[in-house]
Structure 1
Amino acid sequence: MPSRFLVLSLVFLAGPLAAQGPSIRLGGEIPAEVDTIYERGLAFLARTQGEDGSWRSRNEHGITGICLMAFLASGEDPNYGAHRHHVKGALRAIISGQERDTGFIPNSMYHHGFAMLALAEAYGAVDEETLWDGSEKEGERQSIAATLEKAIELAVNAQKANRFGGWRYSPTSTDADTSVSGCVLMGLLACRNAGLAVPEETIENAITYMQRNTASSGFVAYSGGIGGGGESMARSSVATLVYAVGHKRETDEFTAALGHISERLDHKETAHTHYFYYYMAQALFQGNPEAWDRWNRDHSSMLAEQQAPDGSFSGSYGDAYGTAMSLLSIALNYRFLPIYERF
């Protein structure tokens, strides 16, 4: 992907791509397969983006957010690179899809969380002066910051109404689970990292909820306290990640969850595999760089074998989802997203 290296050269000459100021640390040698996988995957996403800028349906904005992050994570300039129109189209789709009266980005809190995360990663990196140029949606124009502020408020209010301190599928849910809560919390942490105001109480209450569901073994329950929901390496990975990015590395829960996943690098998830890869990659990268390096090389080789001739990866929520999540699981090799910086 030649343009990535052009961008990297420009970074050294003109400063960081994003206003958030992520440092560009490519680290060690990138596995040989990664660039090829990424190029082919992005080409598939570019071909399958809808005319409205979304993937799948208009009410699944989290999937559009995941696809958007795959483009942003490639290192290509989002304003002048080959995929600038795909980036801007996805941003317009998410912003236009937000419910203006509530701030909710439908159709579930999963989608709300992933959409928040994607917008926060784009904030400061994308030139908003030209975001709506030539768009039929200009009447729905709103800034990324304004969209995020409303989304944050929705998440904060939903948590206040939830006695567990977390989130579930609906903004009005009165129960919670660690999967949805981890997703929303990562969106909020990305917003905070981008310089937006997020109440500290909201972050702390969400982390406390995750801690209540983390056993000394590193097992993380789905809901209802320790022991509920069966074994899940994905949930242990989610917990490890939120503790790291939420500055809770000194806690027993972080140590336990990280130890649990670090001892199981060869684990193969049988359900929601792309979701697992996405979180496992980030959790190991944040908590155990040496383990991540080994896992990353094996994982990259596996993806090279699994990628379809058209560049896609089949996923439980469609090929766009499977492809974008697979790309994001190896995008840590590039470290262009602010949320991929080590905290």
Structure 2
Amino acid sequence: MKNFFMLLRYSLAITAIVTAWSGLCSHVDAQLPNVRYGEVVPRDVREMYDRGLQYLATKQTAEGKWTGGYSGPGTTGMGVMVFLASGEDPNFGVYSTNLRKALRSIINSQNAQTGYFGNSMYHHGFAMLGLAEAYGAVDERNLWPAGAQNKRTIGQALELAVRSAITSQKNNPTGAWRYSPQANDADTSVSGAVLVGLLAARNAGIEVPDESIDKAINYYTNMTSDTGQVGYSGGFGGGFDESIARISIASLVYSVARRKDLPEFKATLGYLTARLEQTGSNHYQEYADYYEAQALFQGDIEAWEKWNKLLVRRLKAKQKKDGSFTGQFGPEVSTKMSLLALALNYRFLPIYER
């Protein structure tokens, strides 16, 4: 049953699976990444990913989160995506219990009135993204233990989270986001986490106003130079330098928001494709890998294939015996980001679709 539910995402409702059995083959053919891209997942990628999953499963707490200096609903959202990304059945597969625990942890952390997940808008964005990727794939009849009262569904929590993000944006003169939902300034890193979460929610069927996406994209165009470099904070550019992470974030949001016609998209993608050999030499490497993998995959599949080979080789040499990856964010978050960079080889997450 591996890959079963992930292949049906957006094609069949989970509750209709049995009755829709006769039409299953056509949906599977439409979703199989091997059919779409003509290649199988390399064995070394599968082995690395499986070892990483096993490591994360052993480190998850009884409450469903992961500990460490960056613990919170956002990093738990990353965990949700890691478990979903390889195509394991999210409802009956080997990691289905881990997945449900993580989703419950995220929802329990949410403020029921404001929809905010807390800690920072970084956490809010990644938590929102994790919920969006799970929405429609996880059978919510099994999400909460029997007898649980007044527990929000994934859809309800996601709608609240979207509303919270949009309220924060409306109160911010830059049209983007910073660490606090009450902030009056913004940066391209936090804004990337929130905007990708909103785009994923929209792709999942949650209403997100076009005005909100337009304002956020306008912020990114103001922060993108003609050379493709992307500034960090403020509302009118400045501070341009060679941050592969920020350039990748901008290129990715242009792609997922369907703004590939923008000159800023062409500039950011051109900057990345001209420097494929530089992989492994970036500040906050796992963060840069996470975004660069997606940006290249969305922008130039041939460039991604070249870069991905270098990534696999580097991560294969870096992975520890216990399946973890070390980095500046600690082993648990670094492992999640490294696995999600590899997950483009699987392509089961809806946000990874081209």
Q: TM-score under structure 2 normalisation?
A: 0.90
SS for the counterpart of 2:276 is: coil
User: Cα offset for 1:31?
Assistant: 3.2
Contact 1:109 1:180 in 2 (8 A): yes
1:179-206 Cα distance to aligned partner (Å, 9 max, x none): 1111100000000000000111111100
Aligned pairs for 1:98-117 (under 5 A) are 98-117=110-129
User: Cα offset for 1:20?
Assistant: 6.0
Greater shift in the superposed pair: 26-35 or 167-176: 26-35
Aligned pairs for 1:152-167 (under 5 A) are 152-167=162-177
User: Cα offset for 1:36?
Assistant: 0.8
1:88-143 Cα distance to aligned partner (Å, 9 max, x none): 000000001001121101210000000000100000000000100258xx346110
User: Cα offset for 1:153?
Assistant: 0.7
Contact 2:85 2:340 in 1 (8 A): yes
The match for 1:286 among 298, 311, 315 is: 298
| 1:330 correspondence with 2:338 | no
Greater shift in the superposed pair: 324-333 or 221-230: 221-230
Contact 1:222 1:229 in 2 (8 A): yes
Contact 1:34 1:330 in 2 (8 A): yes
Contact 2:325 2:338 in 1 (8 A): yes
Contact 1:112 1:184 in 2 (8 A): yes
| 1:240 correspondence with 2:251 | yes
Aligned length: 331
> Within 1, Cα distance between the matches of 2:71 and 2:337?
19
> Which residue of the partner structure matches residue 190 of structure 2?
180
| 1:321 correspondence with 2:333 | yes
The match for 1:24 among 32, 48, 65 is: 32
> Which residue of the partner structure matches residue 43 of structure 1?
54
Contact 2:80 2:99 in 1 (8 A): yes
User: Cα offset for 1:33?
Assistant: 1.4
> Within 2, Cα distance between the matches of 1:32 and 1:106?
39
> Which residue of the partner structure matches residue 261 of structure 1?
272
Contact 1:163 1:175 in 2 (8 A): yes
> Which residue of the partner structure matches residue 231 of structure 2?
221
Greater shift in the superposed pair: 263-272 or 297-306: 263-272
Q: Runs of at least 4 residues of structure 1 off by over 4 A? A: none
> Which residue of the partner structure matches residue 219 of structure 2?
209
> Within 1, Cα distance between the matches of 2:311 and 2:253?
22
Q: What RMSD, in angstroms, separates the aligned Cα atoms of the two structures?
A: 1.8
The match for 2:2 among 1, 7, 19 is: 7
User: Cα offset for 1:17?
Assistant: 3.2
Q: TM-score under structure 1 normalisation?
A: 0.92
The match for 2:263 among 229, 252, 264 is: 252
Aligned pairs for 1:126-165 (under 5 A) are 126-133=138-145, 138-139=148-149, 141-165=151-175
Q: Name the amino acid aligned to 1:184.
A: V
Q: Which runs of 5+ in 2 are unaligned?
A: 13-29
Greater shift in the superposed pair: 96-105 or 27-36: 27-36
Q: Which runs of 5+ in 1 are unaligned?
A: 1-5
| 1:273 correspondence with 2:277 | no
